[in-house]
Structure 1
Amino acid sequence: MTDEGCSDVTSALKSNPSHLRELDLSRNKLGDSGVKNLSDLLKKPKFKLEKLQLSNCSVTEEGYKALASALRSNPSHLIELDLTGNDPGQSGVKQLNDLLQDPDCQLKTLRFLSPAAEKACRYVNRVVGENPFLQRKLNLSGHKLGDTRVNQIAALLQDKHCQLNTLTLSWCDMTDEGCSDVTSALKSNPSHLRELDLSGNKLGDSGVKILSDLLMNPQFKLEKLQLVSLYCTAITV
């Protein structure tokens, strides 16, 4: 379905809005215009939808704004909203975050991250008191993450909502395995990061070689890299 089909569905529901409680439009090509049509429907008090699934529907910042505006004007019914797999950018994430702070908002379940990224986001919130998707800098220096926790951070980096400019993972007990996870994540979402600090970790030669492959990617526009380590040789560097 495209935005045209979504328009037909919402027009039909406007004429008979009171019975529908769950609507799943996931994995359709609705785009922002389709979601805006749906948002107009959500504003109507007679439309008492409780669960809405819009995962992987090509929704960007404009669609998120329309949804947030609709739910502010009619906040009493929707309790579950799934927006995973869309690309709202940082401003879209802020729209959702602000909506959840509204005391009239009844949403109990809001999904816009992959399960792995959601887990990483909760961890970062707990240890540094910041939502990483609303920040441009993330400093986890000195936190004994180890490769297991670094793997979770990599899931966060891989998520398209993440637009960090500066990432500090120095002295985090990371080995080559953790470095591999980080570089793999950055290969899939390479364009935003400008500063990366991996100093004081046990990266060794293979970790540095993996990172070097990433540096050859023209989409990876890193400007500052810190790799002070006792575990890699001068030849590799």
Structure 2
Amino acid sequence: MMGATTGGVGGTDTASASNTTTTTVVPDAISASSSSSVSEQSGSHDGTTTTKQQQQAANTTGSQVVLDGQRRQVPSRNQVLRRLSEALMRQTLTMIDMSQRGLQASDARLLKLALLQNAQLSVLKLGYNNLGDYGMSILSEAVQNHKALRTLDVGFNQIGDRGCQAIAAALTGTSSSLQTLYLAGNSIGESGALALAAMIKGGQSRHLKRLHLTANRIGDRGVQAIAEAVIFSGQSMEGRKECNSPSVLSGSAGSLTSSEGKEAENDEEDCNYGMRELFIGGSGMSMEGCQAVSDMIASNTSLRVLSLSDNNIGDAEAAVLSKALSANKDEFALEALQLSFNKLTCVGVESL
């Protein structure tokens, strides 16, 4: 029986850069999560409004937050953009982490330049910002021509179908090396999922190993399209035995984070084909979608982690999944099936 685990929201790493081996660019000041209480150090004489001058000052010097009972400085928008501008001049960065920095669609061109100027960049984390469809479209133009990028995190950015279609198009027809794509917590629907599925089937995205779509209402048709694409990627892989070798696995079960799981060992890159980790929790699927997932389980031999959290899965759906697991038990490499926040009883759990 496979159990379900739960995980929390991961924090944003902060590192300073040296003059010669810079790997990460993040603002110096600590950021607070959206649940932290923010205490602005400005206001009018009556304490209810903020003057235009004080707002301008906050944009320049930042603001204060209360975190763990202590006041801490949050970087201002100008400070964030200044640090991002510095990335354009370094040209040797391998990682940029600008999560939770208040980035907007208008900042996407600067992000695009940062990608183009840093040819060695392998990790770009932009989770919990507000890039939207327009920002994602601009950023996709740089992703399309970037050969070193392995991880792209744009979770929780108010990205809809158009933005999803833009990144899917950017990864179609190119020799992309992207292995991990975080799209969790956006507003992607059926048409966005169909675009991703077509991209996976296209073949050029054969390096894509981890797809995070948690908390996107892609529905039954979206789930079906993704499941069929994953089947295709597994059947097309070369060196099946090598692809089924043990690897390091990690993931949070259904937690709404833009950084679920962690990267597998470097030797996994030697495997050309086959999705390894698929997160489709909170997708709004019904029994029809569950049946499509079951068909994927019965046919796929590459998938290691599958998250179906928060999908209203009950005992009937669990029975369908169990049948597929049994049918493919000799070849299926699945090591983690995440089913938290569903409607399972002891009967359904025992069947798995």
User: TM-score of the superposition, structure 2-length normalised?
Assistant: 0.35
1:113 corresponding residue in structure 2: 214
Mapping 1:36-51, distance limit 5 Å: 36-44=137-145, 46-51=146-151
Deviation of 1:47 after TM superposition, in Å, equals 4.3
- With over 3 angstroms needed to count, the CA separation of the structure-2 counterparts of 1:119 and 1:63, relative to structure 1, is closer
1:28 corresponding residue in structure 2: 129
In the TM superposition, structure 1's runs of 4+ consecutive aligned residues that sit over 6 Å from their partners are 119-122
Please tell me the residue identity of whatever aligns with 1:29. Answer: N
Q: Deviations over 1:57-108 (max 9, x none)?
A: 0000000110010001323311110000011111111111222222221201
Partners of 1:33 and 1:59 lie apart in 2 by 9
Partners of 2:115 and 2:167 lie apart in 1 by 17
Partners of 2:211 and 2:204 lie apart in 1 by 15
Partners of 2:179 and 2:296 lie apart in 1 by 25
Matched, 1:68 2:168: yes
Deviation of 1:119 after TM superposition, in Å, equals 6.4
Matched, 1:125 2:296: no
Deviation of 1:56 after TM superposition, in Å, equals 0.3
- With over 3 angstroms needed to count, the CA separation of the structure-2 counterparts of 1:153 and 1:7, relative to structure 1, is closer
Report percent identity of matched pairs: 23
Please tell me the residue identity of whatever aligns with 1:76. Answer: S
Partners of 1:78 and 1:130 lie apart in 2 by 23
- Which consecutive residues of structure 2, in runs of 5 or more, have no partner in the other structure? 1-102, 216-252, 255-278, 298-306, 320-341, 344-352
Please tell me the residue identity of whatever aligns with 2:119. Answer: S
Deviation of 1:123 after TM superposition, in Å, equals 5.4
User: TM-score of the superposition, structure 1-length normalised?
Assistant: 0.51
- Say if 2:115 and 2:143, in contact at 8 Å, map to a contact too: no
- SS for the counterpart of 1:156 is coil
2:111 corresponding residue in structure 1: 9
- Say if 1:43 and 1:73, in contact at 8 Å, map to a contact too: no
- Say if 2:161 and 2:189, in contact at 8 Å, map to a contact too: yes
- SS for the counterpart of 2:171 is helix
Structure scoring higher RCO (CA < 8 A, sep ≥ 6) equals: 2
- SS for the counterpart of 1:52 is strand
2:201 corresponding residue in structure 1: 101
Moved more, 85-94 or 110-119: 110-119
Q: Report the structure, 1 or 2, having the larger helix content.
A: 1
- Say if 2:128 and 2:157, in contact at 8 Å, map to a contact too: yes
- With over 3 angstroms needed to count, the CA separation of the structure-2 counterparts of 1:87 and 1:119, relative to structure 1, is closer
Which of the residues 181, 187, 194 maps onto 1:87?
187
- SS for the counterpart of 2:172 is helix
- With over 3 angstroms needed to count, the CA separation of the structure-2 counterparts of 1:18 and 1:153, relative to structure 1, is closer
- With over 3 angstroms needed to count, the CA separation of the structure-2 counterparts of 1:90 and 1:23, relative to structure 1, is same
- With over 3 angstroms needed to count, the CA separation of the structure-2 counterparts of 1:73 and 1:42, relative to structure 1, is farther
Partners of 2:202 and 2:173 lie apart in 1 by 11
Deviation of 1:13 after TM superposition, in Å, equals 2.8
Please tell me the residue identity of whatever aligns with 1:3. Answer: A
How many corresponding residue pairs?
145
- Say if 2:171 and 2:204, in contact at 8 Å, map to a contact too: no
2:153 corresponding residue in structure 1: 53
Please tell me the residue identity of whatever aligns with 1:23. Answer: L
Deviation of 1:12 after TM superposition, in Å, equals 3.4
Deviation of 1:126 after TM superposition, in Å, equals 4.6
